[in-house]
């Protein structure tokens, strides 16, 4: 008897979907919102909503390091808040703004070091640790600000995001460098390849006498450095710093990760982790930005965007969840 040619396996379908779904979803949403409001594709609107989401693109760069390493960080939002109000507080006391920025970035790295020591050094769950440190960073942020809003920023700080409109924003270069750094690290460096191996199966590193704990620590420090940089772009764009400005950003980041990998990055022993294109993380952020901007232009009820976002994310992760469920059933 002649054998029938083997079709695509469920695993192959999930890999294909994980690689291509963000682009397809983004194009579909752009088409829908363009039909609803032709001004959506106007150069002014596209440039404006990209400018508004540059800090999210930088934030997802840091989160990608952590997620591709097989861990998670729920303290993202209040890391941004802590760094932002620290910079604002220092500026209000007359500290030169270059030193304020440097101290803010160092504070961000310190947050990552704390998470890294607790997770890698003590071998604790990243979910539990970052949930605890989120509350810790929240308390420190409010302790620094005392509920105050810092808004009297020097012009060079505002010019980073081009909020004054008379200079070319340095934030464009920062975002581009972040994308190149992420792509270059995981494509060409040993550190990036070891982080990917750790995210796929930590035992791979241990079998080759590579200290996995060291790489976990590195991912959290690098991730928090990008979170601090994202905070700098955020306060530059808004022109103010306040302790509640980071609320919900960890959810945005995790939603973008879901969209990037089709949920595969959250599944244990998933072979698709190493195959998620780096560009998908940024497409995930753009999908969230398109939904937010499109709903605003269409004049719809603001809260409706949360429902649509949840539906889009659920659709993107459904195949991965379904295949994981089938594999567990076969193992029984």
Asked if residue 317 belongs to a domain, the reply is yes
CATH code at position 250: 1.10.3470
Asked if residue 8 belongs to a domain, the reply is no
Strand-pairing partners, residue 241, are 150
Predicted confidence at residue 204, as pLDDT, reads 77
Asked if residue 152 belongs to a domain, the reply is yes
Asked if residue 13 belongs to a domain, the reply is no
Q: How far is CA 121 from CA 71, 74, 231, 274, in A?
A: 14, 18, 27, 25
Q: What is the pTM of this model?
A: 0.90
Q: Which residue, among 246, 245, 213, has the nearest Cα to 69 in the 3D structure?
A: 213
Q: How far is CA 212 from CA 21, 47, 70, 100, 206, in A?
A: 31, 41, 11, 34, 7
Domain that holds residue 85: 52-331
Asked if residue 2 belongs to a domain, the reply is no
Predicted confidence at residue 327, as pLDDT, reads 61
Q: Three-state DSSP class for 241?
A: strand
Asked if residue 253 belongs to a domain, the reply is yes
Spatial contact of 178 and 226, defined as CB atoms under 8 Å apart: yes
CA distance 223 to 206: 23
Sequential pLDDT tens for the chain (332 residues): 445 444 555 556 566 666 778 888 999 999 999 998 889 989 899 888 889 999 999 999 999 999 998 899 999 999 999 999 999 999 999 999 999 999 999 999 999 999 999 999 998 999 999 999 999 999 999 999 998 999 989 988 988 987 776 678 899 999 999 999 999 999 999 999 989 888 887 887 778 888 888 999 999 999 999 999 999 999 999 999 999 998 889 999 999 988 887 666 666 554 444 467 888 899 999 999 999 999 888 877 677 888 889 888 888 877 666 666 666 666 66
CA distance 63 to 253: 7
Q: At what angle do helices 10-36 and 279-298 cross, to 10 degrees?
A: 30
Asked if residue 25 belongs to a domain, the reply is no
Number of domains in the chain: 1
Asked if residue 15 belongs to a domain, the reply is no
């Amino acid at each position: 008897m002649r054998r029938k040619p083997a079709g695509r396996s469920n695993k192959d379908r999930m890999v294909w979907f994980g690689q291509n779904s963000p682009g397809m979803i983004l194009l579909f949403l752009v088409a829908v919102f363009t039909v609803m409001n032709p001004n959506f594709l106007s150069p002014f609107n596209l440039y404006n909503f990209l400018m508004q989401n540059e800090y999210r693109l930088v934030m997802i760069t840091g989160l990608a390091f952590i997620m591709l390493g097989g861990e998670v960080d729920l303290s993202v939002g209040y890391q941004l808040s802590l760094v932002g109000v620290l910079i604002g507080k220092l500026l209000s006391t007359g500290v030169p703004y270059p030193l304020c920025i440097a101290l803010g970035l160092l504070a961000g790295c310190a947050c990552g070091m704390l998470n890294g020591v607790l997770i890698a050094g003590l071998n604790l769950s990243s979910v539990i640790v970052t949930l605890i440190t989120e509350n810790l960073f929240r308390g420190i942020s409010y302790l620094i600000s005392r509920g105050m809003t810092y808004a009297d920023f020097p012009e060079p700080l505002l010019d980073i995001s081009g909020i004054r409109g008379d200079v070319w924003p340095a934030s464009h270069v920062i975002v581009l460098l972040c994308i190149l750094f992420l792509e270059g690290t995981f494509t060409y460096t040993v550190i990036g390849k070891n982080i990917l191996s750790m995210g796929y199966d930590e035992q791979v590193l241990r079998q080759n006498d590579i200290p996995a704990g060291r790489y976990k620590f590195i991912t959290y420090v690098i991730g928090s450095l990008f979170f601090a940089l994202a905070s700098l772009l955020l306060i530059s764009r808004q022109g103010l710093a306040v302790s509640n400005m980071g609320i919900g950003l960890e959810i945005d980041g995790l939603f973008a990760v879901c969209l990037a990998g089709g949920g595969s990055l959250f599944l244990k022993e998933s072979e698709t982790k190493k195959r998620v294109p780096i560009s998908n993380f940024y497409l995930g952020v753009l999908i969230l930005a398109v939904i937010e901007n499109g709903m605003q232009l269409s004049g719809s009820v603001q809260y409706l965007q949360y429902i649509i976002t949840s539906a889009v994310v659920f659709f993107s992760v459904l195949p991965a969840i379904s295949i994981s469920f089938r594999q567990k059933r076969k193992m029984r």
